[in-house]
């Protein structure tokens, strides 16, 4: 792990630290909202450690706190997390093998996948992925515990504009990849499809549907069978 710190340049570390901090604040609100909604402290805390996927956790506690069935909450959460399959296929080499695989898979988030994809070589990708993943895991869980204990300190992170900060984080990180015209076309088509599907489908599915944009990803060689 020490080599990871040596490969990571200070600028990247600062960027990652900022994202971890922001995730910690969202964790605060998640903990506070869960307990405020009438759930016991252990529910948001356990979810954060063993599930560790923000969007699905918000959805889960939202459904359960509103009196919904835990089964429905589980299904909804799994649907939202299904995009991790595609992320895993993309960052498999970055995660590594042996003990790194289960651990690295567990700390997989949108943010550290985006950070990894934005780096040039494998060493840098690994460093960005692991530092960001572990950093978010630590900050998120600390935030959740504090939020759940303190109750209503911060329940509405929209006041700070954090709901705008997270899409901006991901946008800034994928922008370099979008300079490639074929990738840009696929991403654009996929985003339009996801937006069009959002009013009609449960959370998680619209983003997954965006993968149809890959049909528009044409290579110079006619090897389209590999897409399917």
Partner 1 sequence: MNTTLLLVGILVLAVGTFSLRLAGPWMRTRFELPERAQQVMAVAAVVLLAALVATAALTDGHGGAGIARPAGVLVGGVLAWRKAPFVLVVVAAAATAAGLRLLGVP
**Backbone phi, then psi, for 201, in 5-degree steps?**
-110, 155
Under rule CB under 8 A, residue 213 binds partner 1: yes
The size of the interface with partner 1 (CB under 8 A), counted in residues, is: 95
Under rule CB under 8 A, residue 136 binds partner 1: no
DSSP letter (8 states) at residue 228? -
Under rule CB under 8 A, residue 131 binds partner 1: no
Contact pick of 9, 152, 153, 158 for partner 1 (by CB under 8 A): 158
**Backbone phi, then psi, for 38, in 5-degree steps?**
100, 5
Contact pick of 33, 35, 43, 136 for partner 1 (by CB under 8 A): 43
Under rule CB under 8 A, residue 1 binds partner 1: no
Q: Please give the helix or strand (H or E) that residue 46 lies within, else none.
A: helix 42-50
Under rule CB under 8 A, residue 83 binds partner 1: yes
Structure tokens at 158: 């929209």
Site stretch for partner 1 (CB under 8 A), options 2-10, 27-35, 109-117, 138-146:
109-117
> b/e string for 58-78 if b means 16 or more Cβ within 10 A?
bbbbebbbeeeeeeebeebbe
Contact pick of 1, 99, 161, 181 for partner 1 (by CB under 8 A): 161
């Amino acid at each position: 792990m020490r080599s990871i710190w040596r490969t990571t340049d200070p600028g990247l570390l600062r960027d990652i630290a900022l994202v971890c901090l922001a995730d910690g604040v969202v964790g605060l609100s998640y903990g506070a909202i869960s307990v405020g909604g009438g759930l016991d402290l252990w529910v948001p805390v356990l979810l954060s450690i063993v599930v560790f996927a923000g969007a699905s956790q918000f959805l889960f506690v939202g459904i359960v706190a509103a009196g919904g069935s835990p089964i429905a909450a589980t299904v909804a959460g799994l649907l939202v997390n299904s995009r991790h399959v595609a992320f895993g296929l993309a960052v498999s080499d970055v995660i590594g093998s042996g003990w790194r695989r289960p651990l690295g898979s567990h700390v997989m988030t949108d943010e550290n996948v985006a950070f990894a994809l934005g780096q040039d070589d494998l060493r840098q990708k690994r460093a960005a992925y692991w530092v960001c993943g572990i950093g978010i895991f630590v900050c998120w869980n600390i935030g959740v515990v504090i939020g759940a204990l303190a109750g209503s300190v911060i329940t509405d992170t929209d006041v700070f504009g954090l709901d705008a900060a997270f899409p901006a984080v991901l946008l800034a990180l994928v922008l370099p990849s979008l300079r490639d015209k074929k990738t840009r076309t696929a991403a654009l088509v996929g985003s339009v499809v996801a937006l069009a599907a959002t009013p009609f489908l449960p959370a998680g599915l619209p983003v997954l549907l965006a993968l149809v944009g890959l049909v528009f990803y044409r290579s110079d060689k006619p090897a389209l069978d590999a897409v399917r």
